[in-house]
Every structure is written in C-alpha cells, then in structure tokens.
Amino acid sequence: MKKLLLLLTVFLSLQTAFAQNDKETLQRERQRLQQELKEIQDNYNKVKGQQKATLGQLNMLQNKMQLQNRYIGNINNEIKLLNDDIYLSNVELTRLQRQVDTLKSEYARSVVYSYKNNSTYDYLNFIFSANNFNDALRRVAYLKSYRAYNESKVKTIKETQAMMEQRKQQLLAKTNQKQSALQNQKVQLNELEGQKKEKDQVVAKLKSQVSDLSKQIATKKKRDNQLRNQITAVIRREIEKAKEEERKRIAAAKAAEAAKPKASPNTSNNASTNTASTTTTAAPKAAPARKEAIPLNEGELRLANSFERSKGGLPWPVDNGFVSIPFGVSKVDNLMMDNPGLTISTQASGVTVKAVYDGEVSAVSNTGEGMMVMIRHGRYFTVYSNLSSASVSRGDVVKTGQAIGRAATADDGTGGQVDFMLMVGQNNVNPRPWLR
C-alpha cells in the first residue's frame, strides 16, 4: 500500500512538473501573439480611416484573424492544462483524505488500547512481571516507543491535514484561473467575430471599387512582367558569367598541370610497380554535391550557405512596414493576382530601403514603373522594386542593412510601397519565412 501511494505521489509530482513547463511555453507564446496582434493593429489603425479600402487593409485583417485564432487556440490549451491540473488535484485530495482516515483509525485503536491499560497498576504490573532485569528494561523501552509511536501518529495526521488544506487552496486557485481563462476565451471569440464583420465590410468596399482595384492589379501585373523579364535576363547573364569564369579556371588548372615537369620513365615504372604491389582500398564515396543552377566559386558558396542559415532572421527591407499583398495568389471577388514576392507598404513614400543581407549588386535598372535593385547572395537573389531612386550601382558590394534606395508611392496612392522578391536561382520562393 505504501509503495502504491509513493508511486502515485511521484507520478503526480512529475505530471505537475510537465504541466508547469507546458504552462510556461503557452505563456511565452501568448505574449508573442499579443505583441504581434498589437503591431498589426497599430499598422491597421494608420490606414483604417482612409476613404478607399485597399488590399493592404484586407491582408492585415486576414493576418489579424489568423493570429486571433492562434491566440484562442492558446487559451484552449491553457484551459485543457487547467482541467488536467484540477483533476490531478482532486485525485491527490482523495488520496490524502484516505490517508488521514487510515491514520485516524489506527490512532483511535491505539488510544482505546492505551485507555484500557493506562492505570499505574497495569503499567507497573507489566514491568514487574518480567522474567529478569533485562526483560524489564526492554518492557520499559517498549512502552516509551509505543507512546512515541502514538505521538508520531498525531504529528503525521496534522501534517497530512495541513497538506490537504494547501492542496485545497491550490485547487481553488486553479479553479479561479480556469474561470478567468474561460472569460478571456469568450472575450477573444467576440473579438474574432468583430474582426470577421470588419473584414466583410472591407471586402464589400473592395467589391464596390472593382474598377479602381482592377487598374491597380493591372498596373502591378504589368510591372511584375517587366520585372520578370529583366530578372530573367540578369540571371541568364550571371549564369553565363559564372560558366565563363569556371571555364577559365579549368583551363588555367590544365595549363598549370601541363607545365609541371614530367617524371622520368624509371620513376614511372617504379611508381607503377609500387602501385601494383600495394593492396588497394576503395576510397569512401563522397556525398553527391548539390547541383547548382549557377556555378559557384568558394567565396560564393560560403555566402550562399551563410544566407541559407539566416532563414527566419533576415531584417526587413524597410522599417515599420507591413505586408499589404502576400506572396502567391490573392483573390477579391472575381479579381485574382499572383504576387511573385511580398508587397510591403509603408506609412509614407521615400522611406529608406535596405539590403537584407551581404551581397553584390547584380543589376540596377528602370522598370518603367520605378527603379529595381537586384542583389546576389551566392545562389540566392533578393530583388527590391518600385523604388523612387537607387543609391547603389551594379558591381557594388553591399552589407546587411545598407541603404540601397527609397520607396516609391503605392499603387493606390496611399503611402509608400516596395515589392520584395527572393529567388533561388531562377525560382521564386516566399520571402516571408526568411524575414524576422
């Protein structure tokens, strides 16, 4: 029985420790979500009062709803943990109550026995009826230990009752926490409902602005097509340049090999004999090299690998910007747009645009709808377009955070806008997971 109680206590302690870790993880996640919700609300407040609805407003509301759903999910997980804690606390209280009942029953029997044999005559009779002096001493020691045993029972009962009271207070606190979490859940669900209504209003506005919206989308499609053609030409040029450098390197290596003095015939024969007499061991096969779309030299390979390791930690190309049009397909009513990168809006045009990582400027050109800067990071390229001006030139080596230009006016005429693309070779990838 004691072993079972001990195992149950250890199990409950471990469960409590794991639950505490889960709670701390949930708390950290909740704080992060609250911060993200605050940031997106601050950005939304800047454009909320505009007469015309924009795709940026819609995207921010959609992002906010996604965060809100995750926040509600976090609260649901907290409630589940609290339910588990409450259940385990009730199990512990039941165990402690049984333990107290058992201790009280044992103590009651001891008290009854002591009462029946508590007279001085019985006490002395028990001692003097001993066979010898040593036996009498043993009987005295027994009576003392029996009294100490009863006293320890009382102490154990009091300690267990104190522990029960402590567990009851903890259970009450957890019950209150659960009630608070349920109330918060209700508030956040109402908030989500309000966000849905606000999103529906923005969608309705956008539908009423279909003509203006289609013009904005047409302008962006035209700019994206021009940009795509220029990027393709730049990458093709970079590939040819890299291949030419690789051909020169191979030719130089062959020339250097040919220039080495040839070994004498005897040396060759000796070398052949030694080679033949030596037991050959097959060298382990090297891992297949990554097939590169663009040949990379050693420095470019290091830069590409360093860039790759920075995924999720790259700085934003502008300060205080927000994604107004996400990567990929966006749809409003019957209008559809496939964005090859991120369209980042700023509060005003003319804000500084910065390189997100070290690299070399591959191209600076006018797309017809603004300036474009393309930076190479080994096998990766970052493209910054819809700039009103560029402050770098082709061939410049830039550092992370270095200013490369300024944002032009947004397509809808509100604030500034930068189109940011990330490419691996000639393939577009979603830049958002790469940014902080």
Which residue, among 426, 336, 333, 339, has the nearest Cα to 380 in the 3D structure? Answer: 426
User: Token pair of 135, please?
Assistant: 């036996």
Helical (H) or strand (E) element with 316: none
Distance CA 58, CA 61 (A): 5
Q: Give Cα 22 distance to the centre of its chain.
A: 15
Do 215 and 133 lie in one domain? The reply is no
CB 83 within 8 A of CB 154: no
Q: List per-residue pLDDT tens for the chain, 436 residues long.
A: 445 455 555 555 555 555 667 888 888 998 888 888 888 888 788 777 666 777 778 888 888 999 999 999 999 999 999 999 999 888 888 888 888 888 888 777 766 666 555 555 455 555 556 677 676 677 667 666 766 766 777 788 888 888 888 888 888 999 999 999 999 999 999 999 999 999 888 888 888 877 787 887 888 888 888 888 888 888 888 888 878 877 887 888 787 877 777 655 555 455 444 444 444 445 455 445 556 667 888 899 999 999 999 999 999 999 988 888 899 988 766 778 889 999 998 888 999 999 999 999 999 999 877 899 999 999 999 999 999 999 999 999 999 999 999 999 987 777 899 999 999 988 999 999 999 8
CATH of the domain at 323: 2.70.70.10
Percent of the chain with pLDDT over 90: 34
Residues facing residue 328 across a β-bridge: 339
Flag whether 359 is in a domain.
yes
Domain boundary among 179, 208, 237: 208
Residues 173 and 248 in one domain: no
* Rounded Cα gap, residues 157 and 89, in angstroms: 19
Number of domains in the chain: 2
Distance CA 318, CA 78 (A): 36
> Are residues 250 and 179 part of one domain?
no
Distance CA 69, CA 196 (A): 11
**Would you give the DSSP letter of residue 410?**
-
Range of the domain at 361: 210-254+294-436
Q: Are residues 223 and 125 in the same domain?
A: no
Indicate whether 264 belongs to any domain.
no
Specify the long-range contacts of residues 112-120, CB closer than 8 Å, at least 24 apart: 114/146, 114/150
d(CA 26, CA 77): 8
Average pLDDT along the chain? 81
pTM: 0.66
* Residue 273 within a domain: no
- On whether the CB atoms of residues 72 and 192 are closer than 8 A, the answer is yes
List the alpha helices (DSSP H) in 117-132: 120-128
- What 8-state DSSP symbol labels residue 290? P
Greatest distance between any 2 Cα atoms in the chain: 123
What is the DSSP secondary structure assignment for residue 282, as one 8-state letter? Answer: P
The token duo for 65 is 């709803």
Residue with tokens 């906010």: 64
Q: Is residue 286 part of a domain?
A: no
Of the residues 173, 208, 243, the one at which a domain ends: 208
- C-alpha–C-alpha distance, residues 50 and 166, integer Å: 57
Residues 301, 419, single domain; the answer is yes
